[in-house]
Structure 1
């Protein structure tokens, strides 16, 4: 799987499937490989932040800069593992772990009020004032039994989000 110009072998496909907990079928992995090769314009076997930003849907995503922190320099296996969070075959726990990594901006295993506020800022832009964002977030946290000074760990996220109807899926077109 070194160079993106080579074809995937059956062994490569199975290895990628194992790596992403079988979130994608073999056909889907082949389709993702073709998309990866299109993104990897220089053929180096890795996709850069600039190459990801060439995807219009990604570029307009309000969280694209946060996601780039997780994406820059991925090889194909890592690319599929990243996308597996959006597979309908992925468990709710794995989806929540992914969301936690997006929110944990400093990668310290904890999410603070300011981390969530920063995400809310990205999502709302100029549609809300900073004061409105803080008020809404404080209210939501209090409703869940937390304070502005709370630090959330992954188990906290599981507790808060685990009972929700989380829709985080994309369909992989089969070539």
Structure 2
């Protein structure tokens, strides 16, 4: 008996998705199975609420920001399977000499930067940094400590003195960080 996912994805679709995302056919089928299990309306797309029913996202302090990443640039309030895979492909571990454009270092850095850039102005301000810190640590650290962390981060990363962190400054600040591995999820084979 085949599962529902293998019945609905044609071989040529799987091959195209593999080329576009770097996932193996087995991974695509497993992710399709997960996608269809989240699709409560059985309409071939997911809503923000569908994502928020995922326990790991629901308990993540940045859950809303993560969910928003699936809808970046989308005019619809729903995400299809191809869009779902495109976002997830950014979290594939990189393999030497086998990097897909979506999980390249610059894409991973852009994704991380966008998590902090709450107003999408291509700059991270102290207020945005504070808001993310609040989401991440809640009341575990005092307001003064959070403000100090945000100010110190801006001071260290801001090279042009505008009191904000640009994408270029963000990348430079993280140049010695192994972003490729830190922003990877081990997908089941």
From the superposition, tell whether residues 61 and 122 of structure 1 become closer, same or farther in structure 2 (CA, over 3 Å): same
User: RMSD across aligned C-alpha pairs, in angstroms?
Assistant: 2.2
Counterpart of 1:78 (choices 80, 83, 93) is 83
Q: CA deviation at 1:16?
A: 2.0
Q: Which has the larger strand fraction?
A: 2
The whole-number CA distance in structure 2 between the counterparts of 1:145 and 1:155 is: 10
Tell me the SS of whatever aligns to 2:46.
coil
What number of residue pairs does the alignment pair up?
169
CA distance in 1, matches of 2:6, 2:44: 8
**Unaligned stretches of 5+ residues in structure 2:** 72-77, 95-102
Q: Is the 8 A contact 2:158 2:165 kept in 1?
A: no
Equivalent in the alignment of 2:16: 15
Pair 1:173 & 2:183 matched:
no
TM-score (norm 2): 0.80
Rounded to whole Å, the distance in 2 between the matches of 1:149 and 1:117 is: 17
Q: Map Cα deviations across residues 126-169 of structure 1 (whole Å, 9 max, x no partner).
A: 10122210111212332335598522222222111122133122
**Is it true that 1:160 corresponds to 2:159 in the alignment?**
no
- Superposed, 1:34-113 pairs within 5 Å as 34-71=33-70, 73-89=78-94, 90-113=103-126
Structure 1: 4+ residue segments shifted above 4 A: 145-149
Give the direction of change, closer, same or farther, for the CA distance of 1:140–1:106 in structure 2 (3 Å limit): closer
Residue 10 to residue 162, structure 1, CA distance change in 2 (3 Å): farther
TM-score, scaled relative to structure 1: 0.85
Asked whether the equivalents of residues 141 and 148 of structure 1 are also in contact (C-alpha less than 8 Å), the reply is: no
1:139 matched to 2:152? The reply is: yes
Q: CA deviation at 1:96?
A: 0.6
